[in-house]
């Protein structure tokens, strides 16, 4: 009995260590906004930071064009006063990847004239290496190894607060925005723009999208907000057909996965899209089908036998289901199986 408990403890620690060592996350500072003088002042970055969880080992990506911004780590005093002399460190080339190596408060500003005063400043709180157990609050967005096979349909405001316009930094804005999202059939894109100053049209081919050939589009939607439901998997392309707008960066390309965004039947002419890949057979949540939150994969992210998902917990269903940045998901998935392997080996060894 005691023996068995010890073995389990050892295995749990081993697996946890392994898992945590790869749980690195990438945070694109400001998301689609990038790193610039934010239109509404520093609240943009305050708001952004409040929605993130930073852990030692995570990477911040500051997206900016070299030569018109930079990123300096400074003391709290310098941050508060926007004092740009003798920063702790200075990175002049954008985009800048900064790995968080220490816990505690970190302060970043742009040292270009008055940029910090105008709000180009970011304060974050970095927590020490991840705990060995799953995050205590289930509401905390955590890296999910694989896209879960189903969830409620999401409504995405294209570009978030930026809306749909000619982005200050070019098409990178919408590429960055899209890179952090997972699009499923049934999700809705909302293009929020000034009617008369912009429109949005589906582009019929990748070539036309790449070359901004606005003759090769479907009929543009001219009234904002334009809601477009994603009805088919694959690549989808959108541009503004106003002269020059596309070539200046008002263009969006997304990848829609074939899995429907809801387990409950929606009225649809298409025969119910059977999941192309069979979902993992293990963790089908027993309780009501209304629970559409992510369910952990069978072996991946947790170590101790987690209690069965006890139905929908408090958090609001739609809001906070932000998917992890795409670049991370593949590696963390492939390694996620490791703890399980080790668990099996260790158990085989001890029994
Ligand atoms: C700015 O910081 C530098 C170095 O820390 C310090 O010498 C200087 O007095 C500060 N300037 C102001 C205006 O606080
Ligand atoms: C910065 O991070 C991004 C995303 O992880 C990666 O694609 C890029 O290569 C990195 N750049 C540098 C200079 O390390
Ligand atoms: C960081 O966390 C500490 C302790 O929880 C808190 O006092 C401080 O205000 C936080 N700083 C920031 C920048 O959020
Ligand atoms: C669309 O943009 C307008 C003006 O910027 C803003 O007032 C409104 O809240 C936005 N709507 C959405 C759904 O984001
Ligand atoms: C743009 O698309 C139209 C319609 O598909 C096509 O006829 C035309 O040749 C294209 N123009 C260029 C420059 O590729
Ligand atoms: C969509 O995914 C395919 C295959 O992974 C990739 O080659 C393509 O670049 C992606 N397109 C977009 C717009 O992300």
pLDDT in tens, 235-279: 999 999 999 999 999 999 999 887 666 544 444 444 444 444 444
Same domain, 248 and 166: yes
pLDDT at 72: 96
Is 294 inside any structural domain? no
Ligand 5 mutation pick, 204, 211, 215, 246, max ligand atoms within 8 A of CB = 215
Same domain, 92 and 176: no
Is 335 inside any structural domain? no
Q: Of 127, 142, 171, which residue is a domain's last?
A: 127
CA dihedral 241, 246, 252, 255 (to 10 degrees): 90
Is 107 inside any structural domain? yes
Same domain, 94 and 161: no
Domain carrying residue 103 = 10-127
**CATH number of the domain encompassing residue 240:** 2.60.40.420
Is 116 inside any structural domain? yes
Same domain, 122 and 166: no
State the CB neighbour count (10 A cutoff) for residue 162.
Answer: 20
C-alpha 97 to ligand 2 mean position (Å): 6
Is 287 inside any structural domain? no
Same domain, 100 and 171: no
Same domain, 168 and 122: no
Is 227 inside any structural domain? yes
CB 192 within 8 A of CB 157: yes
Is the pLDDT at 220 greater than 80, yes or no? yes
Which sign does the torsion angle of CA 184, 190, 191, 196 carry?
positive
Total number of domains in the chain:
2
Is 346 inside any structural domain? no
Q: Using CA positions, which residue lies closest to atom 2 of ligand 6?
A: 255
pLDDT at 130: 58
Greater model confidence, 232 or 201:
201
C-alpha 187 to ligand 5 mean position (Å): 30
Same domain, 173 and 218: yes
């Amino acid at each position: 009995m005691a023996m068995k408990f010890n073995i389990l403890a050892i295995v749990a620690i081993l697996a946890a260590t392994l898992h945590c060592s790869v749980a690195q996350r990438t945070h694109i500072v400001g998301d689609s906004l990038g790193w610039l003088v934010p239109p509404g002042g520093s609240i943009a970055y305050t708001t952004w930071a409040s929605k993130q969880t930073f852990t030692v080992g995570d990477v911040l990506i500051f997206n900016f064009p070299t030569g018109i911004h930079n990123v300096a780590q400074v003391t709290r005093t310098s941050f508060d006063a926007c004092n740009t002399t003798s920063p702790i460190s200075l990175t002049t080339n954008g985009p800048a990847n900064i790995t968080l190596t220490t816990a505690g408060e970190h302060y970043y500003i742009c040292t270009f004239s008055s940029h910090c005063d105008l709000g180009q400043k970011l304060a974050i709180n970095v927590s020490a290496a991840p705990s060995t157990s799953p995050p205590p609050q289930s509401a905390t967005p955590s890296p999910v190894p694989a896209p879960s096979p189903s969830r409620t349909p999401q409504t995405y405001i294209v570009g978030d607060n930026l809306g749909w316009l000619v982005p200050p930094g070019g098409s990178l804005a919408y590429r960055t925005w899209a890179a952090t999202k997972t699009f499923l059939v049934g999700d809705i894109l909302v293009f929020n723009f000034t009617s008369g100053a912009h429109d949005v049209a589906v582009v019929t081919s990748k070539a036309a999208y790449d070359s901004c050939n606005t003759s090769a589009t479907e009929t543009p939607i001219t009234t904002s907000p334009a809601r477009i439901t994603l009805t088919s998997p694959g690549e989808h392309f959108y541009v503004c057909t106003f002269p020059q707008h596309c070539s200046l960066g008002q263009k969006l390309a997304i990848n829609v996965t074939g899995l429907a965004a809801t387990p409950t039947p929606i009225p649809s002419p298409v025969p119910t899209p059977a999941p192309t890949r069979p979902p993992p057979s293990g963790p089908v949540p027993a309780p009501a089908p209304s629970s559409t939150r992510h369910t952990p994969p069978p072996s991946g992210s947790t170590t101790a036998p987690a209690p069965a998902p006890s139905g929908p917990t408090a958090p609001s269903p739609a809001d906070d289901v932000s998917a992890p940045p795409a670049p991370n998901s593949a590696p963390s998935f492939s390694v996620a199986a490791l703890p399980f392997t080790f668990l099996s080996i260790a158990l085989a060894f001890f029994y």
